[in-house]
Homo-oligomer: A and B are copies of this chain.
Amino acid sequence: MTRWAPGAAERLQEAALELFATHGFEQTTATDIAQSVGLTERTFYRHFSDKREVLFHNQHLFTQAFLAGVEAAPPDASPIEIVACALRSATSFFPDERRHHSRTRQSVIDQNPALQERERHKLATLAEAVAGALRARGVDEPAATLAAESGVTVFKIAFVQWLREDEQRSLAALAEDMLRELLALTRDQA
């Protein structure tokens, strides 16, 4: 299975995003989405549990990329080095050719409190999964949770920056910068 296979699910996702962005999330029905690409509502519900899920369908792949990075880090890596590795893996999920798509998606989410809630929930779940993966590598608490939360924070801030209209840098470069900023911030303290 390739990541962006142009099957029914992906056609429905692209169409949904287009309709959400043009007509608004609330105003678009599952039937509207299905019909716009010549499919039935039934096909829609074979792929997605609800309308919100269209926007979060790839989230588990993103989580997998994040966790794969945790696992790929060298055995002697420190918690922060593991997080850096996880960020490299996670950001590779968003090459520059996805930037336009991601911008559109985010503008839909930013206009709807229920979607923002789903997004916050997914990020909280991601942080918990990353902390679990760090513990599985032998990192103790609270270091595992602190490192995981810091990694997700860095990703979140880098992602917002990546989506800015005037931003040219890659998400990978931005995440690396943000992590470096975080380390600079906390260095030489207390």
A residues sitting closer than 8 Å to B (CB atoms) are: 78-81, 84, 117, 120-121, 124, 142-143, 145-147, 149-150, 153-154, 156-157, 161, 178-183, 185-187, 189-190
Copies in the complex: 2
Interface centre among A80, A84, A161, A182 (most CB of B within 10 A): A182
Q: How far is the CB of A52 from chain B (nearest CB, A)?
A: 13
Residues of B within 8 A of A78 (CB): 185, 189
Q: For the complex, give the distance between the alpha carbons of A182 and B178 in Å.
A: 16
Can you name 28 A-B pairs with beta carbons within 8 Å? A78-B189, A80-B185, A80-B189, A80-B190, A81-B190, A84-B190, A117-B117, A120-B120, A142-B157, A142-B161, A142-B178, A143-B181, A143-B185, A146-B154, A146-B157, A146-B178, A146-B181, A146-B182, A147-B185, A149-B153, A149-B156, A150-B150, A150-B182, A179-B190, A182-B186, A183-B186, A183-B189, A186-B186
Residues of B within 8 A of A146 (CB): 153-154, 157, 178, 181-182, 185
Q: Establish whether residues B185 and A79, one from each chain, have CB atoms under 8 Å apart when the complex forms.
A: yes
Q: For the complex, give the distance between the alpha carbons of A161 and B145 in Å.
A: 12
Q: How far is the CB of A134 from chain B (nearest CB, A)?
A: 11
